[in-house]
């Protein structure tokens, strides 16, 4: 059976983004149906049965996460939407927010119903000015039509939504940093446990989900768990997925495919192949810059959570970054390290100091001032960071450093030995 794009089905409509266009395409039918046919608990079951796993990076089963909420009801529950999208190479949530905000909003309303929350927060990164304006308008439209507010569609369920703008900090995409930021503080990740489902926003039980995850909930309510679970690579990697490809490809963009699509199909068919016909693939990062790099020889992989884990990397945010043979891996890793040094919140010593050291060592290797011991120093610092930090940001920098150096060790050693870039270029191109 041919794959039918569903997450991106509305983005090319001329009226995409308006509630009229969304309704004309059958929008808010899933919400109508779910409010009539499902109790909140039944909707949680439906999402569990669909196999949906979080699209924000960790791939945690969504229905199971919802099930962690305490049974007691002495405190309000909150739903926080993670629209902070800041992982380098990732621009899929932006597409949904800007081109089909109601698909996301319907998913938010459904999910809030399922977890019995009457107040949702939409935390959008501050730089998404256009997305902020579009989503604000979508919320007003939905309110005017009775999809938000009190007693939605006569169901007795009420929901309000607050849009909250971040202010420029990558770490606020980490779920507990996001909560701190929403509380009006510096975005310092919290120590877990307690997990947000127990102690979250304002100390209350809170569910945090990614924008794309919630858009999938709309599809599940509309077409059912069985339909959803038949897409992709069941039973553990189900559903449609948005994949981003950037870097040295002919047509960078967001492409919808079932989970488990071959990486080479995304690259060669969807993205049109390599940018320059005389510069073949050298390496690719499948899931955003935090994930481990794969050399060209290992890029014949399926793009899903488990297949990529088996290949020694991760699907992450599905932000694929493609590099051709003109790329100097020392310069590329220096760029990545500089990002993490800039974005470390500074709470943990291994992360704060380690990212600084990476930049220092990689800069001197790149300049031609490297020392023979530098390559080993990089991996040593990486292994000191991994597992020794408050939040997974530590891994997000240890993984690229460890993998770039392991896969391209000779190239790193050549830089130290020759005191120059063996590719005779200092640009990352």
Partner 1 sequence: MTIPVRPETDRKIDELLTVYPMKGSALLPALYLVQEEKGHLSEESMEYVASKIGLSAAFVAGVVSFYTMFHRKPVGRHHIQVCRTLPCALSGSDDLMAHLKGRLGIVDGETRSDGAYSLVSVECLGACDRAPFIQINDEEHGPVDPAKMDEILKRLEPR
Ligand X SMILES: Cc1cc2nc3c(=O)[nH]c(=O)nc-3n(C[C@H](O)[C@H](O)[C@H](O)COP(=O)(O)O)c2cc1C
Q: How many residues bind ligand X (CB under 6 A)?
A: 23
Nearest CA to 385 out of 337, 421, 318 is that of: 337
Beta pairing class for 240-247 and 319-324? parallel
Q: Is 302 helix (H, G, I), strand (E, B) or coil?
A: strand
Chain positions 107 to 146 lying near partner 1, rule: CB under 8 A, are: 119, 125-130
**Least distance (Å) from ligand SF4 to the CB of residue 345?**
3
- Tell me whether residue 78 or residue 412 sits nearer to ligand X (CB atom): 78
Q: Please tell me whether residue 284 binds ligand SF4 under the rule CB under 6 A.
A: no
Spatial CB neighbours of 376, under 8 Å, sequence gap ≥ 6: none
Report CA-CA distances (Å) from 246 to 95, 250, 322, 360, 396.
15, 9, 6, 27, 19
- How far is 220 from 57, CA to CA, in rounded Å? 20
Chain positions 268 to 327 lying near ligand X, rule: CB under 6 A, are: none
Kindly write out the interface string for residues 237-276 of this chain, putting x where it contacts partner 1 by CB under 8 A and - elsewhere: -------xxxxx---xxx----------------------
Residue 154, number of CB atoms within 10 A of its CB: 9
Q: Please tell me whether residue 171 binds ligand SF4 under the rule CB under 6 A.
A: yes
**389 binds, options ligand SF4, ligand X, partner 1, none, Cβ within 5 to 8 A by partner type:** ligand SF4
Q: Please tell me whether residue 387 binds ligand SF4 under the rule CB under 6 A.
A: no
Question: Can you read off the two tokens belonging to residue 221?
Answer: 């309510």
**Torsion angle, CA of 223/227/233/236, rounded to 10 degrees?**
80
Q: Please tell me whether residue 345 binds ligand SF4 under the rule CB under 6 A.
A: yes
**169 binds, options partner 1, ligand SF4, ligand X, none, Cβ within 5 to 8 A by partner type:** partner 1
Q: How far is CA 141 from the centre of its chain?
A: 27
Q: Please tell me whether residue 98 binds ligand X under the rule CB under 6 A.
A: no
Alpha helices for 5-115 (secondary structure H): 19-24, 29-37, 40-50, 62-66, 92-99, 101-115
Kindly write out the interface string for residues 183-222 of this chain, putting x where it contacts ligand SF4 by CB under 6 A and - elsewhere: ------x---------------------------------
- Tell me whether residue 28 or residue 340 sits nearer to partner 1 (CB atom): 340
Q: How many residues bind partner 1 (CB under 8 A)?
A: 56
Report CA-CA distances (Å) from 164 to 128, 171, 247.
12, 16, 31
Stretch that binds ligand SF4, among 35-43, 252-260, 342-350, 374-382 (CB under 6 A): 342-350
Q: Please tell me whether residue 390 binds ligand SF4 under the rule CB under 6 A.
A: yes
Q: Is 367 helix (H, G, I), strand (E, B) or coil?
A: helix
Q: Please tell me whether residue 60 binds ligand X under the rule CB under 6 A.
A: yes
Q: Is 240 helix (H, G, I), strand (E, B) or coil?
A: strand
Contact call for residues 217 and 34 (beta carbons, < 8 A)? no
Q: Please tell me whether residue 173 binds ligand SF4 under the rule CB under 6 A.
A: no
Buried/exposed code over 11-35 (b: 16+ C-beta within 10 A; e: otherwise): beeeebbbbebbbebebbebbeebb
**225 binds, options ligand SF4, ligand X, partner 1, none, Cβ within 5 to 8 A by partner type:** none
Q: Is 104 helix (H, G, I), strand (E, B) or coil?
A: helix
Residues near ligand SF4 (CB under 6 A): 171, 189, 344-348, 351-352, 389-391, 393-394
Site residues for partner 1 per CB under 8 A: 76, 85-91, 93-94, 119, 125-130, 162, 164-170, 181-187, 202, 244-248, 252-254, 289, 319, 321, 323, 327, 332, 335-336, 339, 342-343, 345, 427-429
Interface contacts to ligand X, rule CB under 6 A = 54-58, 60, 82, 84-87, 171, 173-175, 208-210, 213, 391-393, 396
């Amino acid at each position: 059976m041919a794959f039918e794009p569903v997450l991106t089905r509305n983005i090319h409509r001329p009226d995409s983004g308006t509630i009229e266009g969304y309704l004309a395409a059958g929008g808010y039918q899933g919400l109508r149906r779910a409010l009539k046919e499902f109790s909140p608990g039944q909707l949680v079951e439906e999402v569990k049965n669909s196999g949906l796993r979080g699209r924000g990076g960790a791939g945690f089963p969504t229905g199971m996460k919802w099930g962690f909420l305490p049974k007691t009801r002495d405190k309000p529950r909150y739903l926080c939407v993670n629209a902070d999208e800041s992982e380098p190479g990732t621009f899929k949530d932006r597409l949904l927010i800007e081109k089909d905000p109601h698909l996301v909003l319907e998913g938010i309303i459904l999910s809030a119903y399922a977890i019995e929350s009457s107040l949702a927060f939409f935390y959008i990164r501050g730089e998404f000015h256009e997305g902020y304006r579009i989503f604000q308008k979508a919320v007003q439209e939905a309110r005017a039509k009775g999809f938000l507010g009190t007693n939605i569609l006569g169901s007795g369920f009420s929901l309000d939504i607050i849009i909250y703008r971040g202010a420029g900090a990558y770490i606020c995409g980490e779920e507990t940093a996001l909560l701190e930021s929403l509380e009006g503080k510096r975005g310092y990740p919290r120590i877990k446990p307690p997990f947000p489902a127990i102690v979250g926003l304002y100390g209350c039980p809170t569910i945090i989900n990614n924008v794309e995850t919630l858009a999938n909930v709309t599809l599940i309510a509309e077409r059912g768990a069985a339909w959803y679970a038949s897409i992709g690579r069941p039973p553990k990697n189900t559903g449609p997925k948005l994949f981003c490809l950037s870097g040295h490809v002919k047509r960078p963009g967001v492409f919808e495919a079932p989970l488990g699509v071959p990486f080479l199909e995304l690259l060669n068919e969807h993205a049109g192949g390599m940018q320059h016909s005389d510069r073949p693939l050298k390496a690719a990062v499948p899931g955003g810059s935090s994930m481990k790099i794969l050399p060209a020889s290992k890029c014949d992989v399926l793009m899903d959570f488990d297949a990529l884990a088996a290949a020694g990397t991760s699907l992450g945010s599905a932000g694929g970054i493609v590099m051709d043979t003109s790329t100097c891996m020392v310069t590329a890793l220096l760029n990545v390290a500089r990002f993490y040094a800039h974005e470390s919140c500074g709470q943990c010593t291994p992360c704060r100091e380690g990212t600084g050291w990476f930049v220092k060592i990689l800069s001197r290797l790149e300049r031609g001032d490297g020392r023979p011991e530098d390559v080993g120093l990089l991996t040593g610092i990486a292994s000191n960071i991994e597992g020794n930090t408050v939040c997974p940001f530590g891994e997000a920098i240890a993984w690229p450093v460890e993998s770039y150096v392991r896969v391209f060790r000779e190239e790193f050693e050549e830089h130290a030995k020759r005191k120059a870039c063996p590719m005779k270029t200092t640009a990352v191109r």
